[in-house]
Every structure is written in structure tokens, then in C-alpha cells.
A and B are shown apart, each in its own frame.
Chain A
């Protein structure tokens, strides 16, 4: 198998695969697999657009090659770009659009428990379906909602937005930060079982101070005004 069967060119938003037009498809498939296995460490879990070049592929063949890429690396191919439109500018647009679509469809949800040492950073507001354990951290440029017990660190409005809030079904955080204000909880006696009753609370900034309030209609009104 010639080493030039598949040539990989990349830019920050996408990759171009230049395929050998002569090679039998089966060999080509193996060459693609090999190429991505070798470069998996380089790309890590990048989200990219992809263009096939140098060979006319059927839909079925495109699908097979995409499968091969997904299996042999952690790259997420967001979209396929036509050969003619291949330019960094266009790639950027295509990737952004695809990412936005992904966000809209999936939303910023995190499923599962965040454990000690795990850091969840998001550009937008985030909902966590699970607990945030002591030592875990959630950093969001928007709001944070924890549908579970929050015992770790919360940081809402990380880019300085003082209008952000953090809420949890059980609010026992070590530290809460909103914009540039920070509060820390009193250390609870660790001899307790760690079982806390559900007591939904919201943390927000009012007159430059962090407020932690039960989620009731009055308190929400106060926050909203």
C-alpha cells in the first residue's frame, strides 16, 4: 500500500483528505483507518469539518470512510464540506453553524455526577442532571442549575456578568462565586452522613452581596426585579 494513498491536510476548522483515485476502495479504506489511527493523538477530540478530494465517492463510500475515522480517532466530524468551497473562512462558518445547531438541539446539559477533581466549564448556561461532589467545580459564563445535591464549587457569570444565578435542589456548596463576588459555606461537621434533604435554593447577587434564598415565588420575584 503506497504511503501516498491518503494525504491529510488540516486547518484550524477542518481537514482535507486527498484520496488516491486509482486505489481499490477496500485498500483506500484501510489507508484512511491507518492514517487516523496514527494522527488520533494529534487531533484528540477536535470538532472539525471534512472534505474529500481527488476521488469521486458514492454516499455509501463516504459513510464507510466516516465510520472509519470515527472508529480510529476521537475526532467529531461536524459536517462535510464541498470540494469547491474549501477555504478556511468557509470551514469556520460551517463548523460554527454545526456547533450552534448541536447546542440548540442538545442544550448545555451534563448528565451524571461531577466528582472531586472534575471541572465542567461552559460558555453558556448549564443544567447538571446529577450531583456536584465536594472538590468538583462548575464554571459557567452563564447560569448554573444543579438538579441534585451541590457540595462542590460553583462559579456562575464567569465572564463578569453579575446578573447570573446558581440554583440547586440541595445547596451545600463549598464555595459559590458569581461574577467577582465569592462566598464560602461554613464547614459542616463531617461526621454527618452527607444525606441532605431536598431544599431548593437560588444564589444571586443583590446590592453587591451574594444572597442564598429558598426558591419561592417571592424570592424569585425579588431576583427578577
Chain B
């Protein structure tokens, strides 16, 4: 039974693309057949985060317009043979495809994959409508900041309006040191405000940025963020995994330095 999941947020820069890449890789790590669809036409960057940008020949718009066959446009990941990317077009804009074309496209993907992950562009315009139209399930990404939460709330409303029943929340870029000082909302506070099921929380770590810059998602690595993403993937698959304690430091080096600071 194949699932079509859209990853969206409303606000830009909260980590939709990073989350999409990590969730895609994580699910592939759990031996699922996954395709990541970049629906951000004109501002594509999922390919860069995945480190696949030099392999793009055809893209989503080519498939929608019938310039190529679907399988010609799918790019296999470097590490996971069950993970594929359908890149978006860079030289076009959001109006190049319609929600109907997106539905048709995902219908041709669902028989081939266990999970179809749609990376949604920021905003609530045509690009959002294109990405949401084929989805049965949504993951709303937000950071613990008021602006991002406001937009996430709006997006949840729109998703409910579009008839998407299962909406999960991913709280990204949590900084436990700031939460402890009372300078940032905790994950619980965010869940209280938005009142949707919490899928997981990812700490704000340098490793995420470094990994993205190298074109290799962080999921599955021994960093806290890598563990958090892998747990999120397990929950997507239906496992019950307890929430990670984000306050624990992942590397022994940090523990030592924290210990030294305390003295």
C-alpha cells in the first residue's frame, strides 16, 4: 500500500527540503522503496541537498508535458538503490504544471514505490496547490518561532480544507539550551498551540548544515539530528518510538567540554 506524503510549512527556510531529503533517505534505509518529488519549480534545490544535481537530464515538467518517459526522469540515489529523485525544472515557474497533472503523475508513481514524498515550495499559491493535490498525508514542518508557527497554523487549516486527514507535525531546529533558559518555545508548547499529532522534533545542529552542503543527508549518522530523523521515519512506517531526549549531548567531546565548563 503506497503512501503519498507532502512535506510543507508555509514559511520558507524552516527545513522542508532538508527534512524531505532526510526522511527520503531514512525510509530507504528502512528498506522502503521511496521517490522524492521536488515540486518547487523554478527554485529547485532538493537535488543539491541530495548531491545529485549533475545527473539531471529530464525533470518533472518534462514528464508532465510528455517530453520524456517517467523512468527517464527518475534519478537513483548515490547510496540507496531503493531511493529515487524526480527533480523539478529550474528554467520554468510554478504555472508550468497543474494540480491535475500532479495527480496524474503521482498516480503513475504509486505502483512503483512504497512512499511518494512531495517536497512543497514555500507559500500557499499555485506551487502549494500543485504539491498538495495528490497528497493523502501531510507533514507540517515548523521551527519553534512565532512567525513559523503562525504560518504552520494557516497551512494546517488549508490542508484540512483540502481534505487531508492525516496531518503530522515536525518541529525543526529546536535548541534545548534556549528552551532551558526560557528563550525558546519547547516542543510541547508548539504542539499545544497547533494541536496536531507530533511526528518528531529535530535539534538545531551544525551537522545538518554540513551534511546538506556535502550533498549527503544526516539521517542515520550518530548525531542527535540523525537519530531524530531516523525515529521520525520509523514513526512514519507505523512503529511506536519514544521521543528522543534532545537535551542529551550526542558526542563525547561535547560531554567532556560541558563537564569542564561546569567546573
A-to-B contact residues, CB < 8 Å: 116-119, 134-135, 137, 174-175, 182, 184-187, 189-191
- In the bound complex, how far is the Cα of B88 from the Cα of A175, in angstroms? 17
16 A-B pairs (CB sep. < 8 Å): A117-B42, A117-B90, A134-B53, A135-B53, A135-B90, A175-B54, A184-B54, A187-B51, A187-B53, A187-B54, A187-B215, A189-B213, A189-B214, A190-B214, A191-B210, A191-B213
- Residues on A with C-beta less than 8 A from B91 are 117-119, 137
Kindly provide the distance from the CB of B130 to the nearest chain A CB, expressed in whole angstroms.
18
B55 interface contact, C-beta 8 A: yes
Which residue in B53, B210, B213 is a CB contact (below 8 Å) of A174?
Answer: B53
- In the bound complex, how far is the Cα of B41 from the Cα of A17, in angstroms? 41
Q: Would you list the 6 A-B pairs with minimal beta carbon distance, nearest first? A: A184-B54, A117-B90, A174-B54, A190-B213, A119-B91, A135-B90
- Residues on B with C-beta less than 8 A from A134 are 53
- Residues on A with C-beta less than 8 A from B57 are 175, 182
Contact A190 B215, beta carbon cutoff 8 Å: yes
Most buried by B among A134, A174, A185, A190: A190
- Which residues, 1 to 59 on B, are CB-close (under 8 Å) to A? 42, 44, 48, 51, 53-57
Kindly provide the distance from the CB of B208 to the nearest chain A CB, expressed in whole angstroms.
14
- In the bound complex, how far is the Cα of B90 from the Cα of A135, in angstroms? 7
B-to-A contact residues, CB < 8 Å: 42, 44, 48, 51, 53-57, 90-91, 210, 213-215
Count CB-based A-B contacts (< 8 Å).
Answer: 34
- In the bound complex, how far is the Cα of B45 from the Cα of A63, in angstroms? 49
Given contacts A117-B42, A134-B53, A184-B54, contact A191 B214 (CB under 8 A): yes
- In the bound complex, how far is the Cα of B54 from the Cα of A135, in angstroms? 9
Which residue in A116, A175, A184, A187 is a CB contact (below 8 Å) of B90?
Answer: A116
Q: Which residue of A lies closest to B93 (CB)?
A: A117
- Residues on B with C-beta less than 8 A from A190 are 48, 213-215
- Residues on B with C-beta less than 8 A from A118 are 91
- In the bound complex, how far is the Cα of B210 from the Cα of A190, in angstroms? 9
- In the bound complex, how far is the Cα of B214 from the Cα of A191, in angstroms? 7
- Residues on A with C-beta less than 8 A from B210 are 191
Kindly provide the distance from the CB of B78 to the nearest chain A CB, expressed in whole angstroms.
9
Kindly provide the distance from the CB of A144 to the nearest chain B CB, expressed in whole angstroms.
17
Kindly provide the distance from the CB of B96 to the nearest chain A CB, expressed in whole angstroms.
12
8 new A-B contacts at CB < 8 Å, known A189-B214, A191-B213: A117-B90, A117-B91, A135-B90, A174-B53, A184-B54, A185-B54, A186-B54, A189-B213
- Residues on B with C-beta less than 8 A from A117 are 42, 90-91
Kindly provide the distance from the CB of A6 to the nearest chain B CB, expressed in whole angstroms.
34
Q: Which residue of A lies closest to B49 (CB)?
A: A190
- In the bound complex, how far is the Cα of B56 from the Cα of A191, in angstroms? 21
- In the bound complex, how far is the Cα of B215 from the Cα of A187, in angstroms? 9
- In the bound complex, how far is the Cα of B90 from the Cα of A174, in angstroms? 14
- Residues on B with C-beta less than 8 A from A137 are 91
- In the bound complex, how far is the Cα of B59 from the Cα of A137, in angstroms? 14
Kindly provide the distance from the CB of B198 to the nearest chain A CB, expressed in whole angstroms.
32
- Residues on B with C-beta less than 8 A from A185 are 54
- In the bound complex, how far is the Cα of B214 from the Cα of A184, in angstroms? 17
- In the bound complex, how far is the Cα of B57 from the Cα of A182, in angstroms? 10
- Residues on A with C-beta less than 8 A from B53 are 134-135, 174, 187
- In the bound complex, how far is the Cα of B195 from the Cα of A215, in angstroms? 63
- In the bound complex, how far is the Cα of B48 from the Cα of A187, in angstroms? 10
- In the bound complex, how far is the Cα of B55 from the Cα of A20, in angstroms? 60
Kindly provide the distance from the CB of A37 to the nearest chain B CB, expressed in whole angstroms.
25
Contact B42 A184, beta carbon cutoff 8 Å: no
Kindly provide the distance from the CB of B206 to the nearest chain A CB, expressed in whole angstroms.
12
Most buried by A among B90, B210, B213: B90
- Residues on A with C-beta less than 8 A from B56 are 175
